Homo-oligomer: A and B are copies of this chain.
């Protein structure tokens, strides 16, 4: 059993690093707050006597030896970065459940054959640097190290520059050094399912596939007064038409979600017809062929809206990830652990991408979810009842114990 009080204290300590006025978390990748939380994390790993390793893109590992030095290790963890004005549970809870698991193992002298490695992945959120799951994606070879280091934020700062000024450009090569036995991650559900069913834990079957798109529409800047309506080429009129179309797309399918999260207008002056609008689209489905279809439909919407308004467009797919099915071995261990811990549980499919998705490419991976009150996340109101957190952490610790035998 984990120590719920110690866990809670640690959770509050970490939540103070980047805590917002509304009790949320603002800790963008490699920002000052992210650097401070990394320092805290490395410190906590060292206090546990773990062997700390930082790789060339800033992923942080702490290794606890098992009784068999030659056995493939179990990897456990999540991410410490947050969305802008996001919540305290997203990511952090997974890292701290893993930390508390190793503390509890220490305290109770839990024996395990396999080494256990705790990990914090760099830039899971994809808010400062796109795409998301960057640290794990690079670890499994989905992105090359060069490509990742060259990614830029909105100000043009590269990942490499950010790592260097943060002091988190490590020496270790990014990628598996040895076969990995399994990967386990606990995360908040970020949706309403567990709460609706009054259950504390989900053993996750799989994750939606998704595509991230970036569109630019070019019109003609002109004066909002003397320019007749019929001759306008208004980039914002075309773009808002597309945003409406993207929302309507989801009506055509069961279990598809579509979102436009970013949109910027140039030149952005009250009395000037917009000449350029850039916006994103995020489309998801558990069915990879439907994701492909959604991308085509977004393009059709752009084509139709631009034909109507006389504007031009460009569309770029900046990220695509297939749907994920987690390993039966990890799911079984997790189900048995939940039973043993006496925790109410269910299986479900998740709509958010996680580092565990990419880990399936190199090992048997799996996930546990704990409930999100009102399903809310990616905002300061994100919340999970503490008894659910404890139930999840206990299930997590027991699953880890089983996997590491």
Contacts of A375 in B (CB 8 A): 222, 226-228, 231
Task: Determine whether the beta carbon of B190 is less than 8 Å from that of A378.
Answer: no
Task: Determine whether the beta carbon of A268 is less than 8 Å from that of B262.
Answer: yes
Task: Determine whether the beta carbon of B225 is less than 8 Å from that of A272.
Answer: no
Q: How many residues of A contact B (CB 8 A)?
A: 67
Question: Which of A4-12, A107-115, A325-333, A346-354 is the contact stretch?
Answer: A346-354
Contacts of A377 in B (CB 8 A): 222-223, 226-227
Contacts of A132 in B (CB 8 A): 271
Query: In the complex, how many angstroms separate the beta carbon of A315 from the nearest chain B beta carbon?
Result: 14
A257 interfacial by beta-carbon distance below 8 Å: yes
Interface flags for A147-159 (1: CB within 8 Å of B; 0: not) read 0000000000000
Which residues 369-397 of A have a CB within 8 angstroms of B? Answer: 375-379
Chain B residue at smallest Cβ distance from A259: B224
Question: Which of A56-64, A70-78, A173-181, A236-244 is the contact stretch?
Answer: A236-244
Question: Which of A33-41, A273-281, A335-343 is the contact stretch?
Answer: A273-281
Task: Determine whether the beta carbon of B265 is less than 8 Å from that of A262.
Answer: yes
A221 interfacial by beta-carbon distance below 8 Å: yes
Chain B residue at smallest Cβ distance from A210: B225
Task: Determine whether the beta carbon of B83 is less than 8 Å from that of A272.
Answer: yes
Query: In the complex, how many angstroms separate the beta carbon of A115 from the nearest chain B beta carbon?
Result: 33
A275 to B380, CA, bound (A): 11
**Among B83, B127, B226, B353, contact of A351 (Cβ-Cβ < 8 Å):** B226
A220 interfacial by beta-carbon distance below 8 Å: yes
Which residues 242-285 of A have a CB within 8 angstroms of B? Answer: 243-244, 247, 250-251, 257-265, 267-275, 280, 282, 284
Task: Determine whether the beta carbon of B379 is less than 8 Å from that of A222.
Answer: yes
Query: In the complex, how many angstroms separate the beta carbon of A225 from the nearest chain B beta carbon?
Result: 4
Query: In the complex, how many angstroms separate the beta carbon of A33 from the nearest chain B beta carbon?
Result: 16
Task: Determine whether the beta carbon of A259 is less than 8 Å from that of B234.
Answer: yes
A170 interfacial by beta-carbon distance below 8 Å: no
Interface flags for A125-146 (1: CB within 8 Å of B; 0: not) read 1110010100000000000000
Which residues 157-183 of A have a CB within 8 angstroms of B? Answer: none
Contacts of A271 in B (CB 8 A): 125-127, 132, 212, 259, 261, 282, 352, 378
Task: Determine whether the beta carbon of B270 is less than 8 Å from that of A223.
Answer: no
**Among B85, B130, B236, B244, contact of A237 (Cβ-Cβ < 8 Å):** B244
Chain B residue at smallest Cβ distance from A318: B270
**Among B130, B192, B250, B379, contact of A270 (Cβ-Cβ < 8 Å):** B130
Query: In the complex, how many angstroms separate the beta carbon of A54 from the nearest chain B beta carbon?
Result: 27
Task: Determine whether the beta carbon of B243 is less than 8 Å from that of A236.
Answer: yes
Contacts of A221 in B (CB 8 A): 85, 378-379
- Given the known interface contacts A222-B375, A352-B226, the answer about A269 and B275 at a Cβ–Cβ threshold of 8 Å is no
A-B contact pairs, 15 of them (CB 8 A): A83-B267, A84-B272, A85-B221, A85-B267, A127-B269, A192-B231, A222-B377, A223-B351, A224-B259, A225-B351, A236-B263, A239-B240, A262-B268, A271-B282, A271-B352
